[in-house]
Amino acid sequence: MIDIYNLEKSFGNTKALSAINLKIEEKQVFGLVGTNGAGKSTLLRLLSGVLKPEAGTVTIDDMRVYDNPETKKQVFFIAEDPYYFNNATPAEMMKYFSEVYETFDKEKFFELLKAFGLEEKRRIATFSKGMKKQLAIGLAVAANTKYILCDETFDGLDPVMRQAVKSLFAKEMEDRGLTPVIASHNLRELEDICDHVGLLHQGGVLLSKDIADMKLNIQKVQVVFSTEEAEQKALANMDVMLHDVRGRLHTITVRGDKESVMNTLACVDTVFSEVLALSLEEIFISETEVVGYDIKKLILG
């Protein structure tokens, strides 16, 4: 488990992170969401031990990360712009990382290279952005670390390759208990892979929630009430988060399980009612607006 407690980091007069508290459980995909400048990359660099905290602690499996080689062996960090040696080839980078990580699986690496369609002796400098990302993913998976930290890893990959990488992570989680931490500015990228999502804003954690729990405990209802009295009765018996009215159609986001919401609607006269599934984006919009933020401005532009 990764445990982050009261973590702070500044660069000159700029406060990058302030009092960050997070727990990242093992064998789950943790999504770290935030706008550019929210502190995602800084946090990942602190988790990987690249940067030293000014205050607070980062521990992985109860061990400090910074200046601790044994802990760092359990972590592979994929930067947004992966660094490679000048004029290096994938085979040469494999040789380097196989010396850094004792658990590096060379056979797996070459299998991934072939699957990605990358040439082992071609200069990486001639690769496209997406190809460089694929190579970084191949190196990370072949290193067989317990944790992979991904900074905008899907950016630059085509849709087919994005799904292939997600499937690869899922297989590694099942086979050996991998824990991926994926930072992205796009909620839609994380919809189908993450178990838990944290929202970072202006250097602080605005929200950290288990996706399954959120989906079970927030419902979106579309309903046309027969009378104003029925509307008032229903609203009085629901924990309303958001309420939008267009003509006679009410779209209501409520906190609670689906069964209790349907029972409430069954007790009042309606012309039409339906409980709809929410997307991750809609859930975050509901949760953040309740606490006074507009995620559509924070994440969706």
- Reported as a single tens digit per residue, the pLDDT across 69-125 is 999 999 999 999 999 999 999 999 999 999 999 999 999 999 999 999 999 999 999
- Tracing tokens 């986001």 back to the chain, one arrives at 253
Q: What are the structural domain ranges in the chain?
A: 2-202, 213-298
Q: Which fold has domain 2-202?
A: Rossmann fold (3.40.50)
For residue 38, what pLDDT is reported?
83
- The answer to whether residues 8 and 20 touch, using CB atoms and an 8 Å cutoff, is yes
Report d(CA 16, CA 9) in Å as an integer.
6
- Reported as a single tens digit per residue, the pLDDT across 11-38 is 998 899 999 999 999 999 999 987 777 8
- The answer to whether residues 120 and 88 touch, using CB atoms and an 8 Å cutoff, is no
For residue 280, what pLDDT is reported?
77
Higher-scoring residue by pLDDT: 206, 292: 206
- The answer to whether residues 132 and 123 touch, using CB atoms and an 8 Å cutoff, is no
Report d(CA 210, CA 30) in Å as an integer.
9
- Reported as a single tens digit per residue, the pLDDT across 130-177 is 999 999 999 999 999 999 999 998 888 898 999 999 999 999 999 999
Which CATH class for the 213-298 domain? alpha beta
